[in-house]
Chains A and B, each alone.
Chain A
């Protein structure tokens, strides 16, 4: 296993359907992103991940840190996550700006936070605790919330920018989520991108949304939509060739479909290199 501290180019989200394909054909991909939650119990999933890790750099992406929850941090979860990270030696460990549990009940879905100063300090403090525990900086990802709190005193992008600074953490910027939010909640996505600190953005996510009755739904079950590709190019102009990942979570297609999406992202990343 080669120690890796950086990644570049366009990677793909690792899904169990593709273990065999990857191990048999060893496709040319700069890195794969594993969903940490699937490997915490060890067993055969971890066995497969370790085989893949022997050949590819891995980033770990989770959904259950519940960074914004009023409940105490789940130390069992955090301990398992640390064990996994120590074993896999990922390039990055990431989770979301969200909460998934309250009063010990789990939502298993990413719920939004009120964007206020007091919540900002609270979440920043929890991220610092997590980073202390893991012994590394984490990346946090922006959501696509379908409900917003009335008493928000900050916009999501102001909240994020302040949080990255206060918690001294990095950003996993989901371009699809920015586009979905901008459409659903009526703002200019470029206003969002403009306030984000360039040096904190370590990874970009791209995925496909679904058009529902009057609003966009972030299903991660479709190819990246044309308007998201456009916003992605605008993001690259601002932030440079940030390593980019293709995510696909429902109705998972063949690996070749994901490769084609990753190649598209790679084309834009290379164009950016040529222009600069």
Chain B
């Protein structure tokens, strides 16, 4: 393994501090290390980088959160993004990993308090972004499932797709999201008080989807999501006449909502 020249890490630490966090000490220590030219003074060069770094992260947030940006306007969004960027340095080479904490940040961001649904819209956008960019899900291995003897079916832990998300909001965020798409020409008015929504976000092959499961489906999705074995789930839902597990299960396998399984006893020591 090659070792970096001793001065390199220190110079890079100062450079990073002066540009990303605009730390005054770093700027002061970096300045004598840098050369100014007729067209490009130290201050101008520094500010070019500072602007570029914030601009890149801010654009990454705009790309991931276009609906939030549209709801509050670009100016507001950019100002909010700048504050977020100051508090959350990027930890990944991939800009697509940047911005996961924005929904929580918005929830605490005083100037956005008049839009109480905004953090949930942001959550929806983050999930959408991650699902869109996630790896393909393999289908359920029916041959392997067929080899599980019937007496062990109660131990089956059926798995939802790795990239699927169950999301609940007190606001109709899916409709807010829909009518605020860049290509939407809707002038529809949305009643914020129409009640809580349960959303299932997943990807059907190449299509990222937001589905609205009915109450029975939602309960079963939650049960699968909890990782409980099939036998336990059946006992839980026994008295719920609305849920016909044996009818739903093959449908979900076909649809791609159940993509894997384990046997619960295999996992215990």
Residues on A lying within 8 angstroms of B by beta carbon are 37-38, 40-45, 47, 63-64, 66, 68-70, 72, 74, 77, 99-109, 111, 114, 116, 118-119, 122, 125-126, 129, 146-152, 183-186, 212-215, 217, 250
Indicate if the CB atoms of A125 and B16 lie closer than 8 Å: no
Between-chain CB contacts (< 8 Å), 20 pairs: A37-B94, A41-B96, A42-B136, A43-B136, A101-B93, A102-B9, A108-B90, A108-B93, A109-B49, A114-B7, A119-B5, A122-B4, A126-B2, A129-B2, A146-B45, A147-B15, A147-B34, A148-B37, A149-B34, A186-B38
Indicate if the CB atoms of A122 and B8 lie closer than 8 Å: yes
Say yes or no: is B56 at the interface (Cβ < 8 Å to chain A). Answer: yes
Whole-angstrom distance between the alpha carbons of A102 and B12 in the complex?
A: 6
A250 contact set on B, CB distance < 8 A: 59
Q: Looking at the complex, which one of A106, A183, A212 makes contact with B93 (CB distance below 8 Å)?
A: A106
A72 contact set on B, CB distance < 8 A: 1
Indicate if the CB atoms of B19 and A107 lie closer than 8 Å: yes
Known contacts A69-B12, A186-B38, A217-B48: A104-B93 contact under CB 8 Å: no
Indicate if the CB atoms of B57 and A108 lie closer than 8 Å: yes
- Could you mark each residue 192-213 of chain B with 1 if its beta carbon is under 8 Å from any beta carbon of chain A, else 0? 0000000000010010100000
Whole-angstrom distance between the alpha carbons of A107 and B13 in the complex?
A: 11
B98 contact set on A, CB distance < 8 A: 108
Say yes or no: is B39 at the interface (Cβ < 8 Å to chain A). Answer: yes
Query: How many chain-B residues does the 8 Å CB contact rule pick out?
Result: 52
Say yes or no: is B135 at the interface (Cβ < 8 Å to chain A). Answer: yes
Indicate if the CB atoms of A109 and B52 lie closer than 8 Å: yes
Indicate if the CB atoms of B32 and A43 lie closer than 8 Å: no
Indicate if the CB atoms of B93 and A77 lie closer than 8 Å: yes
Known contacts A44-B206, A72-B1, A147-B42: A107-B136 contact under CB 8 Å: no
Say yes or no: is B89 at the interface (Cβ < 8 Å to chain A). Answer: yes
Indicate if the CB atoms of B12 and A44 lie closer than 8 Å: no
Say yes or no: is B226 at the interface (Cβ < 8 Å to chain A). Answer: no
Q: Looking at the complex, which one of A45, A70, A104 makes contact with B4 (CB distance below 8 Å)?
A: A70
**Closest residue to B131 on the A side, CB-wise?**
A43
Indicate if the CB atoms of B48 and A146 lie closer than 8 Å: yes
Whole-angstrom distance between the alpha carbons of A47 and B4 in the complex?
A: 38
A151 contact set on B, CB distance < 8 A: 33
Residues on B lying within 8 angstroms of A by beta carbon are 1-5, 7-9, 11-13, 15-16, 19-20, 32-35, 37-40, 42, 44-46, 48-49, 52-53, 56-57, 59-60, 89-96, 98, 132-136, 203, 206, 208
Indicate if the CB atoms of B8 and A119 lie closer than 8 Å: yes
Whole-angstrom distance between the alpha carbons of A49 and B2 in the complex?
A: 35
Whole-angstrom distance between the alpha carbons of A183 and B44 in the complex?
A: 15
Whole-angstrom distance between the Cβ of A89 and the nearest chain B Cβ: 19
**Closest residue to A114 on the B side, CB-wise?**
B11
Q: Looking at the complex, which one of A68, A114, A150 makes contact with B32 (CB distance below 8 Å)?
A: A150
Whole-angstrom distance between the Cβ of A217 and the nearest chain B Cβ: 6
Whole-angstrom distance between the Cβ of B125 and the nearest chain A Cβ: 16
Q: Looking at the complex, which one of B5, B49, B92, B94 makes contact with A118 (CB distance below 8 Å)?
A: B5
Known contacts A106-B91, A146-B45: A114-B8 contact under CB 8 Å: yes
A41 contact set on B, CB distance < 8 A: 94, 96, 133-135
5 tightest CB-CB pairs across the interface, nearest first? A64-B93, A70-B9, A42-B135, A118-B5, A146-B45
Whole-angstrom distance between the alpha carbons of A42 and B135 in the complex?
A: 5
Whole-angstrom distance between the alpha carbons of A150 and B14 in the complex?
A: 14
B11 contact set on A, CB distance < 8 A: 114, 149
Whole-angstrom distance between the alpha carbons of A43 and B57 in the complex?
A: 22
Interface centre among A72, A100, A106 (most CB of B within 10 A): A106
A106 contact set on B, CB distance < 8 A: 89-93
Indicate if the CB atoms of A102 and B35 lie closer than 8 Å: no
Q: Looking at the complex, which one of A38, A40, A107, A129 makes contact with B16 (CB distance below 8 Å)?
A: A107
A43 contact set on B, CB distance < 8 A: 132-136
Indicate if the CB atoms of B90 and A107 lie closer than 8 Å: yes
Indicate if the CB atoms of A70 and B8 lie closer than 8 Å: yes
B37 contact set on A, CB distance < 8 A: 148, 184-186
**Closest residue to B15 on the A side, CB-wise?**
A111
Known contacts A44-B133, A108-B90, A126-B2: A150-B33 contact under CB 8 Å: yes
B92 contact set on A, CB distance < 8 A: 106
B60 contact set on A, CB distance < 8 A: 108
B95 contact set on A, CB distance < 8 A: 37, 108
Whole-angstrom distance between the alpha carbons of A116 and B134 in the complex?
A: 42
A100 contact set on B, CB distance < 8 A: 93
A126 contact set on B, CB distance < 8 A: 2
Q: Looking at the complex, which one of B2, B33, B49, B93 makes contact with A111 (CB distance below 8 Å)?
A: B49
Whole-angstrom distance between the alpha carbons of A100 and B48 in the complex?
A: 16
Whole-angstrom distance between the alpha carbons of A111 and B37 in the complex?
A: 18
Interface centre among B48, B57, B95 (most CB of A within 10 A): B48
Whole-angstrom distance between the alpha carbons of A85 and B41 in the complex?
A: 41
Whole-angstrom distance between the Cβ of A37 and the nearest chain B Cβ: 6
Indicate if the CB atoms of B40 and A184 lie closer than 8 Å: yes
